[in-house]
Structure 1
Amino acid sequence: MHSPNRLYRSRPGRLAACAAALLLAAACSTGDGEDTPGTSTDRAGTVRPPKADTVFDYQLGGPYPPDDAVQALSRDRSAEPAKGLYNVCYVNAFQTQPGDAIAWWKKTHPDLLLKNDDGSLVVDEDWAEPLLDISTAGKREKLMDIVGPWIDGCAKAGYDAVEPDNLDSYERSDDLLTTEHAAAFAQLLAERAHRKGLAIAQKNTTDLLPDRGRIGFDFAVVEECAAYKECGDFADAYDDKVFAVEYTRKDYRTACNTYGSRLSITLRDRDVTPEGTKGYVFAQC
């Protein structure tokens, strides 16, 4: 198990875009619209997980033309998928975005923000993101009225899969949330994704690997599995259908040397900046 708070998670480069998307949540709640022509996933219900050892790019900091070798990528739900590739749609499903998005949640859904006994918000201090309250079935259902349409939007845009982030938010919840709460909400997310023909990824946390079948996860997107010595756990659990992202060359080399023949391993800069931006790093083995 990794430490309670991973120091780095690849979201800072896309916070402003997602905050704006949250403020337009009503507009994004598209429901059962028509699907985009040309999508490679059968929206009638056939879910297609990615193949093992597929060259992958992590484009959460902003979309850009992928390298010719890239076969799959992940982008924020506010971005368009890349034509001809396997596209994973990023959704921050267990925490809010910082900035104006927090004001939106406070104004429209204050009951769905996790609070301490004194009424203060429980916040992921690394990213200034208040946690969503998934502690009861009723609140999970209300959250699905918000997050569910985001998933629908991923399907409508033509994505093949969805990546709900912060599955491990219970680790930052001051013991107010549990793995059982996370698994219960993740199961609702998986059911919604599958109804829309989307595969769904487990994002980090080995704690929930034993529950992956019950939840309905199809593959994994894992950050720093070499750093936390988790690559083998995810590889075995998902038959190598794992997109592993490392943020240091040392960990990237370790992952490539150990699991390069089995897994899709990507090196990115910590801010997952677009190509052409200062600090941009991309490599794949």
Structure 2
Amino acid sequence: MTLRRSAFARARAAAVLVLVGGVGVAVAACANEPASPQPPPAATPVDYQLGGAYPPDPRVGIVARDRTAAPADGVYSICYLNAFQTQPGERDEWPDDLVLREGGADVTDPDWPDEALLDTRSDGGRQAIAERVGEWIDGCAASGYDAVEFDNLDTYTRSGGLLGADDNLALATLLVERAHRAGLAAGQKNAAEDAERLRTEAGFDFAVVEECAYYDECAAYSDVYGDAVVAIEYTDAIDRPFDELCADPATPASLVLRDRDLTRPGDADYAFEICPG
């Protein structure tokens, strides 16, 4: 079947121009060799659609969706992956030896008790996790996404001391390498305190950040990634008018205001607002 491709993905597959004897010759890009991944376009309106896909506002040029959804057509598309803990309803798909356990029970996220932390402590475990998540990465690439974002990089902070930052950094490095081999840019999701190491050591290309304005940590990302920061604020935790956030030079230019549950248009709680262009 023909897969839908975003404008950016189609551009990567376009012919390239090389010089032969001083004359420009069009050479088709090798289909088996993905071009260098590119981060999201700077200062571009974004929509965050993890709660369900829908046609984006025509002003939007970046859209993030869950890996189970097709990418949005005609925009830069980011594929969401929960790479460091299990998705709700998917715990049974993970063998026990790849899930962090203590006293015979899963160690879960305190805020998301239906999500179990993955065990990143051993090289063998990290390799096995990276292989499973790598299948999702390859699926995102085959579907036509331009990038992936890896969520829950900071599980070590809620593991009761069982995991360490170096454990998660080692897994992150494997995942970024896999994304790059698939021709996808790799996005750091949150984890402001680790941004410098994730960029310089793991090789992330950009950041997707939630509530950096509310928690006053936007600079932690922009100091590392510059304009390659996609930001989401939520209506239930915004402490000043959205227009003020847009005008604040500390706020990333690619900013969207969404409802907490990321609902779709038509839902009573749906909220979507981008900065005026």
TM-score bracket relative to the smaller structure: 0.7 to 0.9
Out of 83, 108, 119, the residue aligned to residue 133 of structure 1 is 119
After TM superposition, give the deviation of residue 119 of structure 1 in Å. Answer: 2.1
- Mapped to 1, the partners of 2:251 and 2:92 lie a distance apart of 46
The residue type equivalent to 1:151 in the other structure is: I
Q: Which has the higher relative contact order, 1 or 2, with Cα contacts under 8 A spaced 6 or more apart?
A: 1
After TM superposition, give the deviation of residue 251 of structure 1 in Å. Answer: 5.4
Matching residue of 1:185: 171
User: When the two structures are superposed, what TM-score results if normalisation uses the length of structure 2?
Assistant: 0.84
Look at both structures and tell me which one has the larger radius of gyration over its CA atoms: 2
Matching residue of 1:64: 54
Alpha-carbon displacement from aligned partner over 1:234-279 (angstroms, at most 9, x marks no partner): 1121112111100134356353232377521110000000111120
Number of residue-to-residue matches in the alignment: 248
Alpha-carbon displacement from aligned partner over 1:139-173 (angstroms, at most 9, x marks no partner): 00011221001000000000000011111111111
Percent pairwise identity: 49
Q: What are the within-5 Å matches in structure 2 for residues 73-152 of structure 1?
A: 73-99=63-89, 101-105=90-94, 109-116=95-102, 118-128=103-113, 129-152=115-138
Misfit runs of 4+, over 6 Å: none
Matching residue of 2:203: 216
Higher share of residues assigned strand: 2
Distance 1:39 1:141, change over 3 A: farther
**5+ residue gaps in structure 1?**
1-33
RMSD between superposed Cα atoms in Å: 2.0
Matching residue of 1:6: none
Q: What are the within-5 Å matches in structure 2 for residues 1-285 of structure 1?
A: 40-41=8-9, 42=12, 44-99=34-89, 101-105=90-94, 109-116=95-102, 118-128=103-113, 129-211=115-197, 212-248=199-235, 249-250=238-239, 253=242, 255-259=245-249, 262-285=252-275
**5+ residue gaps in structure 2?**
13-32
The residue type equivalent to 2:8 in the other structure is: S
Kept in 1, the 8 Å contact 2:39–2:206? The answer is yes
User: When the two structures are superposed, what TM-score results if normalisation uses the length of structure 1?
Assistant: 0.82
SS of the residue 2:154 aligns to: helix
